[in-house]
Structure 1
Amino acid sequence: MRRRVSGSECYVAFGDSMIIDYYAGGPGWGAASLLYKNLDDVYPDWKGRDLATLYPGIRFHDLTSDGATTDTVLSWQLPKAPTVENQPTIIILTVGGNDILHQYGVPEKKGITLSYEMKGRLLKIISYLQDSVRFPKPARIYIGNIYDPSDGMGNLEKEGYSRWPDGLKVLDHWNKRIEEVAREKGLTLVDVHRHFLGHGVNYDDPSGKHYDPEDNTSWLWQVIEPNSRGAHEIRKLFWEKIYEDSLK
């Protein structure tokens, strides 16, 4: 299904290293870029399954940045957003992972408090996107949650990280806040967390409850950033949601 759009309609990506190009392989390789335009020679099975094909004429504005937090999106990315007049806009956002990294090691109780502070900033981001004249309704906003690089095992010590006893619990609270924002603001939640289990730093540990014997591969470049496979998997998740909406 194709729908030609006017020259003023655009697709905008906000967020962090989950969807940037750099760690996935360079320009065009990140999840946000692949969602816009598939690399046909690399992913021939995905030829035509991109926004440039689904919405001929749509423009791509990539405002993602390495290390971005909710503060970064608020203070740096949003002010650089393009003005889009009277046209629906597709927006994707992945943020929160670096916020939690900055609080690495905190106990669960403190993590809960911090998760609500993160939620407050995230609500400001979404309110701007939904209420600003830059993005007139009906903007379609898709937000990804945060994957667990430990594959549910809560152990990143082999990668040089100190043990964080409450890490999985804190991450769960962070993802609950993102889910709450999605529900409260009418966004589409993209469940990156569930999809990535079994493909983090413990991907090759058969004792892990999420071990995938049919695809025991890592989707991470290092501990945090997705590699090319990870970027491809993230774009698949966003594409499925966006394409589903295009059929409505």
Structure 2
Amino acid sequence: MKTRTPLTKTASDIRRRLLFMVGVIVILGVPAYLEFKLRRPVGEGPAGPQIAMEPFQSVWTQRRVHLLGVGDSVTRGLGAKSNLHSYFERLKQNPKDEWPDMQGKHLSAVLPNLTATNVAVSGSTSIDHQRVIETEIEPFEEDVFGLVVMTTGGNDLIHSYGRRPPEEGAMYGATLEKAQPWIESFERRLGGMLQSISDRFSAGCVIFLGDIYDPTDGVGDAPSIFLPDWPDGLAIHAEYNRVIRRVANQFGHVHVVPLHETFLGHGSHCRQFWRSTYDWDDPTYWFYTNIEDPNDRGYDAIRRVFLQAIVDQRQAFVSLSDREPDLSLGINF
């Protein structure tokens, strides 16, 4: 009868240890991979910053104010539970199922002579927005002050999802060098759009322009959102946001709404607690199934940051109560 040599026994022990280690890796690694790479819970309840009640306890002005929505599917509301849950509609009026902490915090409560129009179009680019502004927005009556909310440029970046060679207005996959002329064109186009919108309100207006969020939470790994790799994607995205801030700074009455900052930690890496963007209070996913638009909770957050930006500039509306509009020169804040 043969007995195992020490060498044979050692090899067998090594195999057992390797199998044990593989088992441990599988048992621990698969759940970790699912949790930190694939699981993206949307959560429940309110999303986004708290908004104080005090600014909504008195009327800002009795003058006529028109709320105008311009831009893409974010301002249109694609991905919201219903049209009444879009950020545009929730700015105008609380829906019946409004969260308790936001009840009474809407523009109709402080602007009793508010009217509204939303000309945003899902899937549209900044090139489309320029056309819409020029052809579909007529000048408003001389006593109407404008309150404009706008999102533009996001579809310029993400279209056509790498399925076609990059071009202006659909630059996904482009190098920064190739995109540079398109970025410069966007800067000129955005300045023209903001001026054209302003010109349609002879009584003056205030414009709130959202910057562009990032569904990869600043990591830039496009495959995490099921898109082809795009090495220069983050750099081009950053350039677009720099353009938005730079152009807005040329107008005293245009204010940037920080959607990019607000959504960090709520994209494809929302469960990765070791990242600086991790939101310990609400580590949930705020994007719709199409990746590029918000889900219902995302729209709640957008409504809140737009509303806070408007509250911060409410003196522009309060001052309307103290004087008549200068119809010859216009009023720009």
Secondary structure of 2:228's match?
coil
Question: Which aligned pairs between 1:224-235 and structure 2 lie closer than 5 A?
Answer: 224-235=292-303
Is it true that 1:96 corresponds to 2:162 in the alignment? Answer: no
Q: Give the TM-score, by structure 2 length.
A: 0.70
Q: CA deviation at 1:74?
A: 1.5
Q: C-alpha offsets along residues 60-83 of structure 1, whole Å, 9 cap, x if unaligned?
A: 101111012111112135422254
Structure 2 gaps of 5+ residues are: 1-57, 159-169, 317-333
1:119 corresponds in structure 2 to 187
Residues 173 and 233 in structure 2, CA contact (< 8 A), matched pair in contact too: yes
1:197 is aligned, of 257, 264, 270, to: 264
- Equivalent residue, structure 1, for 2:29: none
Task: Tell me the TM-score normalized by structure 1.
Answer: 0.92
Distance in 1 of aligned mates of 2:79 and 2:207: 24
Which residue of 2 is the match for residue 36 of structure 1?
A: 92
Deviations 1:3-54 (A, max 9, x none): 3434x53110101122223311122111111111122423221111111111
> May I ask how many residue pairs the two structures share in their alignment?
245
Specify the alignment match of 2:119 in structure 1: 63
Deviations 1:86-140 (A, max 9, x none): 2211011110000112101111222333211111111111111122xx3224210
Q: Among residues 260, 271, 279, which one is paired with 1:212 in the alignment? A: 279
User: Is 1:152 paired with 2:218?
Assistant: yes
Q: 2 CA distance for matches of 1:82 and 1:51?
A: 23
CA contact (8 A) 2:270 2:285 kept: yes
Give the aligned residue type for 2:226.
Answer: G
1:175 counterpart residue number: 241
Give 5+ residue unaligned stretches, structure 1: none
Residue 306 of structure 2 corresponds to residue 238 of structure 1: yes
Q: Which residue of 1 is the match for residue 201 of structure 2?
A: 135
SS in structure 2 of the partner of residue 89 of structure 1: strand
The Cα shift of 1:199 comes to 0.4
Which residue of 1 is the match for residue 228 of structure 2?
162
Partner amino acid, structure 2, of 1:219: W
- 2:209 counterpart SS class: strand
The alpha-carbon deviation at position 227 of structure 1 amounts to 0.7
Distance change in 2, residues 1:247/1:17 (3 Å): same
Root-mean-square deviation (Å): 1.7
> Is the contact between residue 40 and residue 46 of structure 1 (CA under 8 Å) also seen in structure 2?
no
Displacement of 1:158 in angstroms is 3.3
| Counterpart AA for 1:17 | S
1:184 to 206, 229, 250: 250
Distance 2:140 2:129 in 1: 18
CA distance in 1, matches of 2:218, 2:109: 37
